[in-house]
Structure 1
Amino acid sequence: MKKIILLFSALMLTVGIQAQIQTPQPSPFQKIEQKVGLTDVTLEYSRPSMRGRTIMGNLVPYDKMWRTGANANTKITFGEDVEVGGKTLKAGSYAIYTKPGSSNWEVFFYNDTSNWGTPEKWDDSKVAAQVSVQAYPIPMDIETFTMSFDDLKNDSAMLGMMWEKTYVGVPIKFGTDKTVSENIQKVMNGPGANEYYAAAVYYLEAGKDINQAKTWIDKAIDMNKEPAYWQLRQKSLIYAKAGDKKGAIEAAKKSKELAKAAGNNDYVALNEKSLKEWGAM
């Protein structure tokens, strides 16, 4: 009986040691997903609170680099290229660092997001964009550091930061108009060679209307001044399936010729195999 009690006590002690007590984080993590125009933007940061402390010029000193939040890097991710401070930020992720001042903040978009807080050694070459923005006083205390996407328009947004009695906003420009204009032009001009080619190959592989595939592949080839050997290869297969052996052989021979010139022996072999099947070799 004594051994059983000792074993039970040891088991309970092990469970107690392994158990983890969960408590609220002092600077909770927040993730914001925002679409601006046609671009997906994600913001990830941790949110410290005032807790009776003086923030600006004290806990967050003026004219010194700040991690802009707490814990790991504050990180923003753009799904498309954007513009900040007259510079293009390529699609991807950036750490946001700031140098707060009493009347202006310097905001840095840093292309190394692997730091915990500010980098141990600052590297100017990693600053993808830098902008100076005005600091605005607000009439009430914002207890918890807050970031937001404000003044949303089709092609712009303000990346807002608020804490204590201060608000700053970083203007970000998006290429929505360019993308939409290009899409409109493309639609109004009708399908291009790539669209006709993709549709034709899909119809071939999916076993759909082969005559429609033949019409589309002809349009794709006609719209290309110099069709590639892989395009002509698909034309030969579509023509063969449509029962046009003469056209299939002609396309296969041209595909083989171009593939040989390009040094692509795989396509040479594929075309030779088909030509033999179709009685042309």
Structure 2
Amino acid sequence: MKKILASVLFLAVSFSGFSQIKTPQPSPSSKLMQTVGLTDMTLEYSRPSMRGRTVFGDLVPYDKLWRLGANSNTKISFTTDVTIGGTKVKAGEYAVFATPGMSSWEVVFYSDTSNWGTPQKWDDSKVVAKAKADVYKMPVKIETFTMTFDDLTNNSAVLGILWEDVYVGVKIDVPTESIVSASIDRAMSGPGAGDYYSAAVYYLQEGKDIDQAKEWIDKSIAMSGDKAPFWQLRQQSLIYAKAGDKKGAIAAAKKSLAGAEAAGNADYVKMNKDSLKEWGAL
């Protein structure tokens, strides 16, 4: 009897010890954050690996709703309203599912994020947006399921999905232009030098009214006077060049160059010298 009790006690202690051992998850979780324009996007998903298996058409069947990863449903959140597949989606958090096909996928954004995998009962009223994504075959295989934010601009990003030899991407548009324009309108009721500078640089970057950008950068530099920093003078030179005022561009670039040399900023020294050479002033 004593031997039996001792054996039971040993097994109990052994199993108790095993329960405290931490091991890696087969599909580890991942969290990805990206700022797109003025919108913050956060993606949370789990990452299964191929491990010698055929993925699409086998492990992940064609034409059947997939959780887009493993474990709990994949989630994405936006801090502003966005547009997906032509549909406006309010700021908030959403589950992302997909129905893979051989040549294209349907990617669905769903308002209920509490599911483990796909919902037991699908509710069409919870679908906030759908997007069709063409399949692109890659020349190499991706072992572990991967999601990315690709092709970033001030106004959009592409939600990339990669696994095996497949890439699909869903474009997400953000309202940067309308937010910035509203901000500019508010600021112009009583703008400071920084407001004029930011508005002018945004117009330059986005290819908007360059004459308006020139007016704003001139006001910014005038308000700063002799204290205008070399990086602002650099933007003034670029705006003048874009507006076709080479003489003004050269004058601003020379001031920026002098300021950059005094500050010991080699990057701006080089950029200004390159521009002055391009404009025939060196």
Q: Which TM-score band applies after superposition, normalised by the shorter structure? A: 0.5 to 0.7
In our comparison, the structure showing a higher alpha carbon Rg is 1
Cα distance in 2 for partners of 1:36, 1:190 equals 28
Tell me the residue number matched to 2:158.
Answer: 158
* TM-score normalised by structure 2 residue count: 0.62
Partner letter of residue 59 of structure 1? L
Q: CA deviation at 1:189?
A: 1.5
- Structure 1 residue runs of 4+, over 2 Å off? 9-16
Counterpart in the other structure of 1:65 = 65
**What's 1:48 paired with?**
48
- Distance in 2 (CA, whole Å) between partners of 1:95 and 1:13 is 42
Letter of the 1:40 partner, please give it: D
How far did residue 12 of structure 1 move? Answer: 11
Residue in 2 that maps onto 1:17: 16
Describe the SS at the equivalent of 2:31: strand
Distance 1:178 1:58, change over 3 A: same
Q: Report deviation, 1:159.
A: 0.1
1:260: which partner in 2?
Answer: none
Partner SS, residue 67 of structure 2: coil
Rate the CA distance shift 1:55–1:188 in 2: closer, same or farther, 3 A.
same
> How far apart are 1:56 and its partner, in Å?
0.7
Q: How many residues align?
A: 186
Question: 2: CA distance between counterparts of 1:96 and 1:71?
Answer: 13
Q: Which residue of 1 aligns with 2:137?
A: 137
TM-score by length of 1: 0.63
The alpha carbon displacement at 1:190 in A equals 2.3
- Deviations 1:11-35, CA, capped at 9 Å, x for gaps: 9965961651111110000000111
Structure 1, gaps ≥5 residues long: 1-5, 192-281
Unaligned runs of 5+ in 2: 192-282
User: For the aligned residues, what is the CA RMSD?
Assistant: 2.2
Deviations 1:64-93 (A, max 9, x none): 000000000100010110000111110100
Tell me the residue number matched to 1:99: 99
- CA offsets, 1:33-76, max 9 Å, x none? 11111111100000000000000111010000000000001000
Give me the whole-angstrom Cα distance separating, in 1, the residues matched to 2:146 and 2:44: 11
Question: Are the structure 2 counterparts of residues 43 and 13 from structure 1 closer, same or farther at C-alpha, using a change threshold of 3 Å?
Answer: same
Mapping of residues 172-191 of structure 1, within 5 Å: 172-190=172-190
